[in-house]
Structure 1
């Protein structure tokens, strides 16, 4: 079920991220989203999305009406069986805002972002997203301490950071994600592990004692045991 709607927020402080985050958590895949100021001092949030599970129209109305501080209007529902599906990439800025609001519960939004991308752009876009998120997490959580050399930074900083997503094993410069959620939770046949590659690179490169770091996924568990291995150089 695909739908478009507009919601008016009660305050300008309630913004796009406050709307799309609960929709993603409720199991909707975003197609497009836009924010503009309303005449009443709040914002108008325009959303086009589709349900990914068994949702009725009543479920949809309940989900939209339950978003805090928002009033629903102009809801339109279309029958996707009678129309050719269109794919529009989610905006990276919106995805980063959602990640910032939900971190570390970001697997769904990363996989939805991956599914929204064209095949020939997916790997590069996920890698860049991961670099920005990983670098941001290092700056937020680890930059105030004394910079650690690479081997120590991997075991004391990178591994704890990655544990927000999956069980992690480290062996020197090799990192393994056990039951990698970026494979097992993807709604498409595509892996989202380029995000992890970028995340590790961005995290380590932000450490001045490490400098440039290069990461390669040497084994992907998509379609198998969901254990992915990454080599850090």
Structure 2
């Protein structure tokens, strides 16, 4: 099983060697590895590696999530390559979601399953106390959006507002929802995070955080403010967001 992953460290002192050493000890064969500074004062570690023996996808997620001081925000798995790799049908299946899902495990599951993340996000939301739900959902979305920008859109010259909304943010959001955008208004016309809710729209806090993290990771965007202007939970299933 070959995989590529990206992890963000909580401190600049946690470097590439602190990530690859646990992976080698856990029995993974490294192919490539790269380190770059993150905007949050830590480092982003990119690794391509192969598992050996009978490691499963769940084993891989557990091993990556257990690296001290690191948050897994992107994981891509290639199940091809040897007789004991995970069959493609199994590798593409959602990882099991448990009742004690925390942010670290939620990010690992999202990284493995992206863009099919609605069930994971909703399960994480349901596990949160009501009073902290909005903040936690925003933070989860911010980390996911930031990771997607760094993975898919950080190469080349960064685009300024509002060009980055139409050329980068909208295509990123289209990976999990139908999207319409005009100027600084973005609408998810089939919001996957609210479609099963009759009134509660805290799932949209995830989208607010996603947009915030995505745009804030763009060095050409100085400051950004995102607000949900309309939620379609229980009605139209169209959720609108304003970006300043």
Length-normalised TM-score, structure 1: 0.65
- 1:162 maps to 2:173: yes
Number of residue-to-residue matches in the alignment: 166
Show structure 2 runs of 5+ residues with no match: 1-52, 63-89
Equivalent residue for 2:224? Answer: 213
Q: 1:114-158 CA distances to partner (integer Å, 9 max, x unpaired)?
A: 011111011000000000000000000000121001110000000
Equivalent residue for 1:229? Answer: 240
Equivalent residue for 1:38? Answer: none
- 1:190 maps to 2:234: no
By relative contact order (CA 8 Å, sep 6+), the higher-ranking structure is 1
Show structure 1 runs of 5+ residues with no match: 1-8, 33-89
Equivalent residue for 2:59? Answer: 15
8 Å contact from structure 2 (residues 208, 228) kept in 1:
yes
Equivalent residue for 2:185? Answer: 174
Question: Relative to 1, partners in 2 of residues 1:95 and 1:14: Cα closer, same or farther, differing over 3 Å?
Answer: closer
Question: Relative to 1, partners in 2 of residues 1:121 and 1:208: Cα closer, same or farther, differing over 3 Å?
Answer: same
8 Å contact from structure 2 (residues 109, 120) kept in 1:
yes
Q: Which has the larger radius of gyration?
A: 1
- 1:137 maps to 2:181: no
8 Å contact from structure 2 (residues 94, 113) kept in 1:
no
Tell me how far 1:97 sits from its aligned partner.
Answer: 0.5
Counterpart secondary structure, 1:31: coil
Length-normalised TM-score, structure 2: 0.62
